[in-house]
Amino acid sequence: MWLLLRAEATPETLLQALRAESLEVRVHRLGDRWALEIQGNGHLSEAFARYEEVERVFSTHDIQPLVQQWSHNVELPTWQRGKGLLWIAGPCSVERKADFLRLAQELRAIGVQVLRGGAFKARTSPYSFQGMGQEALDWLFEAKSLTGLPICVEVVSETHLPLYEHVDILQIGARNMDDYWLLKAVAPLGKPVLLKRNPQATIEEWLLAAEYLLLYGTPWVLLCERGIRTFERSLRYTMDIGAIPAVQRKTRLPVIADPSHAAGRWDFVEPLALAAIGAGSEGLIVEVHPEPLKALSDAAQQLTIEQFQRLYERANAIYTVLSRHLSEPLQA
């Protein structure tokens, strides 16, 4: 059994009380918080919930207690959950300042609530473009100031975290979903995390990665389905549409989809996005570039601003028609 202490609580007094009851207790430091692990005993969980230092009690037999019990608010200044789709858009990598700032303003005018853009890129080949690094982050911060939109940026290494103080949503990419030490380093920053599903991961493994984040201090996790690896190679990945309602049965954490990486080609992004909305996705993260042919990474899957405008209108139309249906998992 685990006792998760409140953010402001320290374990000393409670530890003395528990040991006075002859209980074997182990102390864990979880980022900026504390947790106490109580070895096998016959006590009911309600007995420990009476201590004012304890925020939550959960059994070690329940492998995703925080994910399953999560019931807090999702707070973004530009988006209210349940009132419309969450739109996160921008280029795969931020490459040229003037182009990105112009694109950011165009995306805001369309209705995008969060800007995305890569600074440090994790690439399969060491010879591929690795991102503009610190310079790209500076341009992202400038776009944030210019548009008033929050920004979502992928974290690829804990050594970069000091640079991400002013990033609003930290993205954990698919290849790092099961880098548990990175998750434990990111969570104590107390920022929302967009967690992409590893293409080899089961839903249970994906949710356990979210459990790491919640346990170590992340206020809420934005779960992102972006396609899994199967035997089928027509597209880059196979978009697991069924994962969206399946996850919504297990947690109230928001679930969105990334049709860009599932498709791998711009002409399949829209149909996959519309299918995800039909399945209950609460939003989309889409790669948009001012001139995709000149993109230094993922050129084939990035939309032009005109193509994104069309997707935005069609997806919102489907959401409007299905809004009553889509709200049901949020109320369950």
| Domain spans in the chain, listed from the N-terminal domain onward | 2-61, 86-331
Task: Report the C-alpha gap between 259 and 285 in whole angstroms.
Answer: 7
C-alpha span between 130 and 173 (Å, rounded): 15
- Residue 298, pLDDT above cutoff 70: yes
90 Rama sector, left if φ>0, alpha if ψ -120 to 50, beta otherwise? left
Q: What is the pLDDT of residue 6?
A: 87
**CA distance linking residue 270 with residue 302, whole number of Å:** 11
Residue 119, classed as helix, strand or coil, is coil
How confident is the model at residue 215, as a pLDDT?
92
- Residue 216: DSSP 8-state: T
| Token pair in block for residue 266 | 């711009």
Asked if residues 96 and 68 have their Cβ atoms less than 8 Å apart, the reply is no
Residues whose CB falls within 8 Å of the CB of residue 105, separated by 6 or more in sequence, listed in order? 146, 147
Give pLDDT, residue 330. Answer: 47
Q: Which of 295, 283, 238 has its CA nearest to residue 264?
A: 238
Instruction: Check: CB of residue 226 under 8 Å from CB of residue 247.
Output: no
Residue position matching structure tokens 């207690």:
65
Query: If we measure between CA atoms, which residue out of 299, 272, 295 comes closest to residue 284?
Result: 272
Residues in a beta bridge with 89: 115, 286
Range with the lowest mean pLDDT among 1-10, 91-100, 173-182? Answer: 1-10
Q: pLDDT value at position 331?
A: 43
For 274, the token pair is 């519309």
Confidence label for 324 from pLDDT (cuts 50, 70 and 90): low
Tokens read off for 71: 């019931």
| Strands 2-5 and 54-58, bridge-based pairing | antiparallel
pLDDT in tens, 109-163: 999 999 999 999 887 888 788 888 999 999 999 999 999 999 999 999 999 999 9
- Domain 86-331 sits in CATH 3.20.20.70: yes
pLDDT of residue 22: 80
pTM assigned to the model: 0.86
Report DSSP letters for 179-215, one per residue.
-HHHHHHHGGG---EEEEPPTT--HHHHHHHHHHHHH
Q: Is the pLDDT of residue 326 over 50?
A: no
Q: In this structure, which amino acid lies at residue 119?
A: A
CA distance 284 to 319: 12
CA pair distance 259, 253, nearest whole angstrom:
19
Distance, C-alpha 152 to centroid of its chain: 9
Task: Say what percent of the chain tops pLDDT 90.
Answer: 71
pLDDT, mean of residues 92-107: 97
Among 21-35, 232-246, 283-297, name the one with the lowest average pLDDT.
Answer: 21-35
Is residue 332 very low, low, confident or very high in pLDDT (cuts 50, 70, 90)? very low
CATH architecture of the domain 2-61 equals 2-Layer Sandwich (3.30)
